[in-house]
Amino acid sequence: MADMRANRVAEQMKKEMGEILTRKIKDPRVGFVTVTDVEVTGDLQQAKVFISVLGDELEKQDTLLGLAKAKGFIRSEIGKRIRLRKTPEISFEFDEALEYGNRIETILRDLNK
């Protein structure tokens, strides 16, 4: 039961997060960010937001800094949009699986040349 609720909250957060990041964040450091996944703990206290960012390492780090700075704002926006007693603490992480997939794709493309 708790897991289903956490999944539902995660799905809702993923949807809202995409909207917030594209429409509400004015920080120029936060460029092309895609929310690939959200994991919410069973007690709904923590939310890990997985992102992918277009750009090089420096741009990715800048994006992370921008998101860290906007974390309070993002959290309160989520709180307004999703009815929960307590909005989860948010942390951002790069989606390594996506990066990994892209790397493999590049390697395969290079092999076929």
Q: Please report where in the chains the tokens 């741009």 appear, as a residue.
A: 59
For 82, other C-beta atoms within 10 Å of its C-beta total 15
What's residue 83's pLDDT? Answer: 86
CATH number for the domain harbouring residue 45:
3.30.300.20
- Total of domains in the chain: 1
Range of the domain at 100: 2-112
89: helix, strand or coil: strand
In this structure, are residues 36 and 98 in contact, taking their beta carbons and an 8 Å threshold?
A: yes
Q: Residue 54's closest CA among 43, 63, 42, 44? A: 63
Low-confidence ranges of the chain (pLDDT < 50): none
